[in-house]
Amino acid sequence: MRMVRDVGLAEDLAHDALVAALEQWPESGVPDNPGAWLMTAAKRRAIDLFRRRQLLERKHEELGREVAERETAVPDFDSALDDDIGDDLLRLVFIACHPVLSREGQVALTLRLLGGLTTDEVARAFLVPEPTMAQRIVRAKRTLAEKRVPYEVPRGDELPVRLSAVLEVIYLIFNEGYAATAGDDWIRPGLCEEAVRLGRVLAELAPHEREVHGLVALMEIQASRVKARVGPAGEPVLLFDQNRALWDQLLIRRGFAAIERAHRLGGMPGPYLLQAEIAACHARARTNEETDWSRIVGLYGELAAIAPSPVVELNRAVAVGMASGPAAGLELIDRLAGNPMLRDYHLLPSVRGDLLFKLGRFAAAGKEFARAAGMTRNTRERDLLLERERECTRRVE
């Protein structure tokens, strides 16, 4: 990106270099410096492209000089970029979250290029159709190219401006790992681990930002449940059915410490800290029955006041159903039924089916579970929902 000044072209060149590695390394062996090999391969392809397009001779010569130099070690990009972030991926996230883009464009492009998420997965995170998200990403790439945005790490006052977008990127990467949009895996632990790692690095970079600590706390506590969320055959295990002895107590303690760190900074809690407090309510309860659902309802109310969204309201309805009974939760769910953002969101009929099941309305619950199963693209989740539908059928019979 620094060399070609076009994020779309840079992405294509990177892909070409990776394909070349997949073709050549099985025969030649992995080089001593894989990063240098890939960078050299991408630069050579850039030179070829510039030659074909007859671009500026200056750019041609500049890239040619770099390739001509024998690269015996991985290039010192830290010095070249002259930044204080110290983490390659986090640095790229900050760069991609450029204020010339809309907030949605920043986050969508960064998730697509750097977060390992497909366009479909990014669309799910925003509750928009995949074609809409694809257009958004294309526009973001075009804007960066047209504005000739430099490949530089933001400094001074620019860092806080981009911080909220960076937090959202890390949060959404974690969410995709915690509950995969599609495929045969219920969770993707690698994404969770990378998001937690980035959060920890960011917490050291911005120690006085309470929402950074709030996000780290949320991810640490949620990540503590990963082993308990999957059964022996890879099947999903929902919160109420999990063996809490499998929850990672070290991660929970780290999460609690991050919450305390955030509160010591003072001020009103933001959305990540509030979500961390909700996760902490579950982590403190030794059993489902000990969970402080009334406090969780109150926390969701605070969250809805500062970051309103239909998903927050859906989660609040679940908490109300636990605190005040399934009928109360169902009443709130039915108010959300007409929200266009939840039209294709499978968790709406899934939650509605669960509340109907608890009320003994098994035929209606079965229909909701079947509808939810038809919406999800995750195989494991679909199997779980279909099993719940079959259970409703057995109850009716």
Question: pLDDT at position 264, please?
Answer: 96
Beta-bridge partners for 230 = 236
Whether residue 11 lies inside any domain: the answer is yes
Q: Angle of helix 130-146 relative to helix 7-28, nearest 10 degrees?
A: 100
Show the tokens assigned to 225: 């449940």
DSSP character string of 111-150:
HHHHS---HHHHHHHHTS-HHHHHHHHHHHHHHHHHTT--
Whether residue 334 lies inside any domain: the answer is no
Whether residue 59 lies inside any domain: the answer is yes
Least confident of 84-93, 161-170, 229-238, 283-292: 84-93
Whether residue 232 lies inside any domain: the answer is no
How many domains is the chain partitioned into structurally? 1
**E-strand stretches of the chain:** 182-183, 377-378
**Portion of the chain with pLDDT greater than 70, in percent:** 90
Region for residue 183 given its phi and psi (left: phi exceeds 0; alpha: psi -120 to 50; beta: otherwise): left
Q: Range of 25's domain?
A: 7-73
- Provide the residue count of the chain: 397
Q: Single out the residue of 393, 327, 394 nearest to residue 358, CA to CA.
A: 327
Rounded mean pLDDT of the chain? 88
Question: pLDDT at position 148, please?
Answer: 79
**pLDDT > 70? residue 329:** yes
Which of the four pLDDT bands, split at 50, 70 and 90, describes residue 58?
Answer: low
User: Once rounded to an integer, what is the mean pLDDT over residues 298-317?
Assistant: 96
Note the pLDDT tens digit of each residue in 77-111: 344 334 455 567 787 788 788 888 888 888 888 88
Phi, psi (deg, nearest 5) at residue 183: 100, -170
Helix, strand, coil tally for the chain in percent (to 5): 70, 0, 25
**pLDDT > 50? residue 70:** no
CA dist 212 and 96 (Å) reads 19
Question: pLDDT at position 114, please?
Answer: 74
